[in-house]
Amino acid sequence: MRFDGNLSFENIHHASRDFGNRFHLMPTAVLYPKSISNIAQIIKHVFNLGLTSHLTVAARCQRRGRGDVVTCSDEQNADLFNAALGGLGQFGIITEARIALEPAPTKVKWIRVLYSDFVAFTNDQERLISHSRDAFDYLEGFVVINRTGLLNNWRSSFNPRDPVQAEQFTSEGKILFCLELAKYFNVEEVGEIEREVDSLLAELSYIRSTLFLSEVSYVDFLDRVHVSEMKLRENDLWDVPHPWLNLLVPKSSIHGFAEEVFHNIVKDTSNGPVLIYPVNKSRWKNGTSLVTPDEDVFYLVAFLSSAMPSSVGRDSMDALLERNSRIVKFVGDSKLGIKQYLPHYTTTQEWRAHFGDKWEVFLRRKNGVRPPRHPGPWAEDFSEGQHLGTTVKKEREKTVKNVNKRDK
């Protein structure tokens, strides 16, 4: 299927809904994900693109003032293809994609459970993603801090396996961890799927009274974020500032990170979800510009907050930015090997540390889309003195001086 920049997902009907929770956005949002959750949802469709797939990129050009439109894939203009994926917009803008589709299921078993033990929570998640077969088609974790009536809120979409025990459970004042799971199937497979789901759940160490289940259509499952959006719009709570922070945390560091951040920095999660779940690095496409931790398994942790413009409390913009700053400071001071997604750095040293052993590759690719003798207005890529464009400009100026000295 061909996607271009003038076609919204709504016009592609059900086929487009295979590509995650944000199908009401333009297709470029799929290829340039805005959050960690987006990455996880589209990973096997985009970061593992097949050889028959290609992107059309409006690349930063080798002729000053113009941009070249280039078709690229793993076999054609492969360097640009890999550079554009996770490239922070530094190599061009993806204007079109041709992606292979696959048959969509019709139904979804949708499950939520809670944990109070973080070790059990992470062990179960890691066990599920390590299965040789896909144990579940969807897995996402949430941190829940000091939420009142949590299970009662679930009842609008889920049914408790044991209503009596669920009624007695309280979440107020606790740090809990929610595991959300989904298994896709077709109607004729319902008996087999129920047995498989029960068998998988029996292996997990969640709080037994918190098992909630639902069965919905595949389209309704993918539309769940849009349903929430409509409710927020009705209350004028959608078009508000969203100071999001997305981190990639190595498996070996996740417990130290959680101990500090979830116990000492984040006091509640009422201003937006905090996502946390592991992924296997081996399932990601190698060679892209995306920077990940140096371990086979790492966690996606996303603080997806919404700030209330009129607030002066914990959900104010200032309070949420201050909280994010404390988390970022801890990440920098702790040396836990954590990487930011869409980072904001101010110095070359910080960018070098972010890219690590990918730094020289990044510079080579950057030089490839605008040669050293034509440095161009790099600072316009980002705010001057604050982002990657200015940093690369300084590195490029050093290269130009060295080339000029050599020519003389």
β-pair type (297-303, 245-250) = antiparallel
Confidence at residue 247, expressed as pLDDT on a 0 to 100 scale? 97
CA distance 308 to 354: 32
Count of alpha carbons within 13 angstroms of residue 14, beta-carbon side: 10
Confidence at residue 342, expressed as pLDDT on a 0 to 100 scale? 84
Q: How many CB atoms lie within 10 A of CB 45?
A: 20
CA angle 338/343/377 to nearest 5° reads: 145
CA distance 12 to 218: 16
Count of alpha carbons within 13 angstroms of residue 47, beta-carbon side: 23
Query: Looking at the DSSP assignment, which residues form a beta bridge with residue 346?
Result: none
DSSP label of 309 = T
DSSP calls for 134-145? -S-SEEEEEEEE
Q: How many CB atoms lie within 10 A of CB 272?
A: 17
| Dihedral (CA of 308, 313, 315, 320) sign | positive
Q: How many CB atoms lie within 10 A of CB 50?
A: 11
Which residues have a Cβ under 8 Å from the Cβ of 308 and sit 6 or more positions away? 240, 271, 315, 316
CA distance 247 to 241: 19
How do the domains of the chain map onto residue ranges?
Answer: 2-98, 105-343, 348-407
In CATH, the number for domain 105-343 is 3.40.462.10
The yes or no reply on domain 2-98 and CATH 3.90.1150.10 is no
Confidence at residue 373, expressed as pLDDT on a 0 to 100 scale? 42
Confidence at residue 378, expressed as pLDDT on a 0 to 100 scale? 35
Confidence at residue 32, expressed as pLDDT on a 0 to 100 scale? 38
Low-confidence ranges of the chain (pLDDT < 70): 1-67, 132-134, 369-408
Confidence at residue 86, expressed as pLDDT on a 0 to 100 scale? 84
Q: How many CB atoms lie within 10 A of CB 226?
A: 12
Residue positions counted in the chain: 408
